[in-house]
Amino acid sequence: MEILAYGVQADEQPLLEKAFAGRHSLRTLAVFLNRDTAPLASGYPAVSSSVNDVLDAGTLTVLAAGGTRLIAQRSTGFNNIDLDSAAGLGLTVARVSHYSPYAVAEHAWALALAVNRRLTRAANRSREFDFRLDGLLGRDIHGMTVGVIGTGKIGECFARIAAGFGTHLLGWDIAPNPACLDLGMTYTELPELLTRADLISLHVPLLPATHHLIDGAALARMKDDAILVNSSRGGLIDSAALVETLRAGRLSGVGLDVYEEETGVFFTDRSIHGITDDTLARLVTFPQVLVTSHQAYFTHTAVGQIIDATVRNTDDFAAGRTNENTLVPKG
C-alpha cells in the first residue's frame, strides 16, 4: 500500500523509511497536512499525520476525494482530527495509544530543573565568559511539595522521579492511581493542590473539560514562587493569563514544551522572519520561562515505538483488521 507521511522530522525520516521498507511504499514530506497541502495526497490510500497537522473537515474532505482511506496519526493525542467528519467520509483513523511515558516525564523534569536552577541563563553567560552567580539562585527540590495534575502513565513516571528527589506528593485525577498511592501521594481537590504545591506539572489530556484548566483563577491560587511545567497539551493553560501572571512578578519558573497556538509554529524555523503570535513572543522573553518545541516525546525509544505502532496500524488496515489504536473503524 502507498503511504504519504506528513510533518516528518529529519531525525524521524530514516527510521520511518527503515520500518516501512519491504512492507509498504512510503513517501515522506516535511510540510504539515492542512487544506492547502492535502491535494498532495491524491492517489495515496493511506496518510500518516503528525500531532501539529490540521485534519479538520475541509482537509479530510480533500483527502477522501483523492482516494485516501486511512489516517495513521503518529501521536497519542488526536484533538487535531475531526473524528465525526472522518467517520462520515468513510475514513479509518488510527493513532498510537501509548509509547514510552518515561520520555515525556523525564523531559518535564528537565524543564523543571532547568528553570529552577536558571540553567539557560547560566549557559548563555558562560558562552560570554561571564561566570557570575548573580540571579542564578535556585532551590532544593528535596523537601518540596510537588503537585501532579493527571496521574496516568506519564504522571506516574513523573511522580516516581519526584519521589526519588524526596518530595511530598500531591495528586489530582478522576481516580487515584494505586502506584502513586504507594509512593505516598495524597490526592486532593485541584484548588488545594494549586495552593499547596511548590512545583506543579500537567499530565492530563486536552478535552473540553480541561481546556484552560490553568486559567487566571488557577494561577492566582499558586504560590508566588511556584514552578509550573506543561509537557502535555498547550490548551491546558490560558497563555494570556500566564503572561499577566508573569508580568505581575509571580512564579519563579515556567517550563513549557507545548503551547496552545503552536500549530504552524513549532517544528518550523522562524529565526529569520520571526512570529506574529504576540503572546508566545512575550512568553519567551521572561527570564524564568523556558520553551521547547513539543520535543518531550523525541527520544529514540519513544519515536521507535511510535513508528512501530504506525506500521502495525497500517498492516492491520491493509488486512481488514482493527486494533486498540483504531479511533474510527473502516466505514
Active centre residues (catalytic): 233, 262, 294
Judge whether 75 and 96 are in contact, CB under 8 Å: yes
What is the arrangement of strands in the sheet containing 145-149, beginning at the earlier edge strand? 186-187, 168-172, 145-149, 199-202, 227-230, 253-256, 289-291
Give CA–CA dist 179/53, Å, rounded.
35
Give CA–CA dist 146/193, Å, rounded.
9
DSSP state letter for 289: E
Give CA–CA dist 160/157, Å, rounded.
5
Q: Which three cell numbers stand for residue 318?
A: 491493509
> For residue 178, with 0-12 CB atoms within 10 Å meaning exposed, 13-18 middle and 19 or more buried, which class applies?
exposed
What is the arrangement of strands in the sheet containing 70-73, beginning at the earlier edge strand? 25-28, 2-5, 46-49, 70-73, 92-94, 326-328
Closest residue by Cα to residue 158 from 110, 225, 198, 196: 110
Indicate the SS3 state at residue 106. helix
* AA letter at 155: G
